[in-house]
Amino acid sequence: MAAKEVSPEIDVLIIDRGHASKGWAGKAARSAGILSFVTPEDDPEEFVKFFVHNIGYFLCDEILLREFAYQSRQIIEQLSLWGVEVSRGADGKIQYVKGPFPWGTTTVDPDICRQLANYTKDLGVRFVDKICIAGLLKDENNISGAVGFSLLNGTYYIVKSKAIILASGSQNYGVTLLWIGTGNGILFAYQAGAEMRNAEFGNMFDFTRISPEGWIFSGVHGGAHVAHDFLLNSRGETSA
């Protein structure tokens, strides 16, 4: 959307396996309704330090991470400009809750995807729904398009494009109950010969635990899933 706002003349096409034009993927149009960001009372440098030491373990792109830390609040404000309802107080400032970490969490309209889809269409962005992309096309060393097929009738599609943004999520198929992340986007990039960094963060999980009953649970050291590493028992030991 930002690119379309800056350059209205560009032709942007969104292809989705679900119903991106309506703002939903098939089962629901709603998000969890929460967003975490570096708040005004947080030091972005402390956020970077915490993330590098406790989440990324020095493997992440620290330059990109620092840019995110300083721009995350701006992203929340941008969502408001795009029609998404963000929780605000009487003074107009974003309301949020703070934990012991260098970020806070606010609430947003659970229909965020619908709002963004409507705003995107108003900008002139085109949509093609229910299409599964199967691979990328190359012209020598340049990406020239993609191929895919209709999930409704099997029709084969060839899409020509000067640039492609892969936004297909992470890889969690067969690992967690979030079955929608097949890792296709990561695979397509590899197959096209892209130079990649931090692809290991494309996985939805980085640890597995077995319960006393024998059940296997997988999890992730993401920004919202690190608290268990800082819980202490009566002996002062962590649960990690």
Helical spans, DSSP H, in the chain: 2-6, 44-54, 62-81, 112-122, 184-191
For residues 2-8, average pLDDT? 87
pLDDT at 57: 79
Q: Are the C-beta atoms of residues 151 and 184 closer than 8 Å to each other?
A: no
Q: pLDDT tier at 15 (50, 70, 90 boundaries)?
A: very high
Is the pLDDT score of 179 beyond 60? no
More confident residue, 191 or 208: 191
> pTM for the full model?
0.75
The angle formed by the CA atoms of residues 151, 157 and 158, to the nearest 5 degrees, is 150
Is the pLDDT score of 124 beyond 90? yes
End-to-end CA distance of the chain: 40
Percent of the chain exceeding pLDDT 70 equals 78
pLDDT at 223: 44
